[in-house]
Copies of this chain bind each other. A is one copy, B any other.
Amino acid sequence: MVVVDLDIIGDLMKLRRRRPLIHHIMNFVVMTDSANVVLALGASPIMAHALEELEDIASMADSIYINIGTLDMLWVESMVQLARIAGRYSKPLLLDPVGAGASKLRIEVSKKILEVGSVSIVKGNAGEMMALAGFKGLVRGVDSIIEEAFEPLEKLSREYNIVSMATGRVDYVANGEKLAAIEGGSELFKYTTGTGCMLGSVLASLMAINRDYFKTSIEASLIFKRAGEIAEAKSGRNPATFRLELINALHNINLYSLDTSKIKILK
């Protein structure tokens, strides 16, 4: 029942041919893994947060990823400034509101970045997206496909005119009109830090190639979940081996089949 027209392998081949530059403001915990994910896919990462060089680098970049995972006020200033520059140069911009809901600061900063008006996609786990959309209550049960999960996403998509994505056992993507759910992945994601952030790096890399952000979100989700399945098969109950095999699998993802029947278009 796939009604989106995807050319995942085509997009991956373009990525490898063009080797786009992906400008990250990434948290300290996942910087290394994110850089390695981008390289494994065939793109080129740069991490830069100094106010004095943001414009030089962002203007050269093919897409931009702002991840607030280990923010402080100096970095927040750079994040907001980078969002402005992304708008000025019409660059694809991904926002990851890591930990939204864990502190008021993270909600405020995420909204401040969204309000700049240049974000293309906002992606977080289900709890973060609910907190950002102002939905209360614990996030339980969103790991199965339930239409309620779309409410906060649709709200965010309509409010900011962007694509919204909530990750978990099932990933959800909304653009204000359409809704998709993507199944698959691995139980070991939850024993490995930064898997959501690494998915963000996959997504930011694809955004440099294909500006249909509803499609690129679905593609990134499917690729990342498939890489997780391949990695799990190679690592048993070993989370550190899983993390290593996840990056290997992303590098070799073109050698594996991608089962698009895992994508459900719900609306």
Residues of A at under 8 Å CB distance from B? 27-33, 35-36, 39-40, 45-53, 56-57, 60, 69-74, 78, 99, 102-106, 190-194, 237-241, 243-248, 251-252
A191 contacts across to B, CB distance below 8 A: 39-40, 251
A193 contacts across to B, CB distance below 8 A: 32, 35-36, 39, 45
11 A-B residue pairings within 8 Å (CB atoms): A35-B193, A39-B191, A40-B191, A40-B239, A50-B71, A51-B72, A53-B106, A56-B105, A237-B251, A240-B244, A240-B251
Contact A48 B99 (CB under 8 A): yes
Contact A241 B248 (CB under 8 A): yes
Chain B residue at smallest Cβ distance from A21: B102
Chain B residue at smallest Cβ distance from A105: B53
A244 contacts across to B, CB distance below 8 A: 240-241, 244
A252 contacts across to B, CB distance below 8 A: 237-238
List 7 extra interface pairs beyond A39-B192, A237-B251, A237-B252, CB under 8 A.
Answer: A29-B32, A36-B193, A39-B239, A238-B248, A238-B251, A240-B243, A240-B251
Instruction: Quote the shortest CB–CB distance from A224 to chain B (angstroms).
Output: 15
Interface residues of A, dominant DSSP: helix
Interchain CA distance A30-B60 in the complex, whole Å: 23
A78 contacts across to B, CB distance below 8 A: 72
Contact A73 B52 (CB under 8 A): yes
Instruction: Quote the shortest CB–CB distance from A173 to chain B (angstroms).
Output: 26
A190 contacts across to B, CB distance below 8 A: 39
Instruction: Quote the shortest CB–CB distance from A96 to chain B (angstroms).
Output: 15
Instruction: Quote the shortest CB–CB distance from A186 to chain B (angstroms).
Output: 14
Instruction: Quote the shortest CB–CB distance from A202 to chain B (angstroms).
Output: 15
- With beta carbons under 8 angstroms apart, the residue of B56, B243, B247 that contacts A104 is B56
A243 contacts across to B, CB distance below 8 A: 36, 240
A238 contacts across to B, CB distance below 8 A: 248, 251-252
- With beta carbons under 8 angstroms apart, the residue of B47, B72, B245 that contacts A70 is B47
10 nearest A-B residue pairs (beta carbon): A53-B103, A35-B193, A240-B247, A56-B103, A238-B248, A53-B105, A50-B72, A240-B244, A52-B105, A29-B31
Contact A50 B251 (CB under 8 A): no
